[in-house]
């Protein structure tokens, strides 16, 4: 079982999670913009 309280206090966890979240957001934005452009 993952101990989330310990993990959320760990700085290294945030250093690795924030870029991953940024990549996911970027991918979603690129897909939505691509669909929007192709709809025109």
- The reported pLDDT for the residue numbered 39 is 74
pLDDT 10s digits, 1-40? 889 899 889 999 999 999 999 999 999 999 888 778 787 6
Residue 29: what pLDDT?
94
Helix (H, G, I), strand (E, B) or coil at 3: coil
The pLDDT of residue 17 is 95
- CA pair distance 24, 30, nearest whole angstrom: 10
Find all residues with CB under 8 Å of 13, minimum gap 6, and list them: 7
DSSP 4-35: HHHHHH-HHHHHHHHHHHHHHHHHHHHHHHHH
């Amino acid at each position: 079982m993952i101990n989330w309280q310990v993990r959320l206090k760990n700085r290294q966890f945030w250093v690795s999670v924030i870029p991953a979240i940024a990549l996911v957001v970027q991918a979603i934005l690129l897909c939505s913009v691509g669909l929007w452009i192709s709809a025109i």
